[in-house]
Amino acid sequence: MNWNLEGLCVKGLYMGEYRVSGKVTLSRIAYGGAVQHFVSLDKPLNILGGAVKRDSGERVIVEHKYITQVSSR
C-alpha cells in the first residue's frame, strides 16, 4: 500500500481505538518517520459519552498503521 492516501476514502481507528471513516485530505510523514493521515469525517464522532465530539467534515489524524480499508470512493 502506498503511504500517500490523499483523495482516497479510508476506514480506520482514531487513536487506535475508535472507528472512523472519511476522505484523506493530507498524508504526511511525522517527526520520527511515522505516517499520519488527516481524515475528513463522513459521520459524526462521539467519544466518552459526549466528552469528545467531532462533526461530519471535521478532521482527525489517523496513523497509517491504524488504516483498515482504502477505496477510491
pLDDT number for residue 1: 65
What's the rounded Cα separation, in Å, for the pair 45 and 71?
21
pLDDT number for residue 30: 94
Residue 1 forms part of a structural domain: no
- In this structure, the dihedral spanned by the alpha carbons of residues 40, 46, 50 and 52, taken in order and rounded to 10 degrees, is -40
Q: How many domains are contained in the chain?
A: 1
The three three-digit cell numbers of residue 16, written as one number: 487506535
Residue 44 forms part of a structural domain: yes
Q: Of 39, 28, 32, which is closest to residue 62 (Cα–Cα)?
A: 39
pTM, 2 dp: 0.91
Residue 43 DSSP symbol: S
Residue 2 forms part of a structural domain: no
Residue 61 forms part of a structural domain: yes
pLDDT number for residue 49: 80
Low pLDDT (below 50) residues in the chain: none
Look at the block and give the residue holding cell 484523506.
24
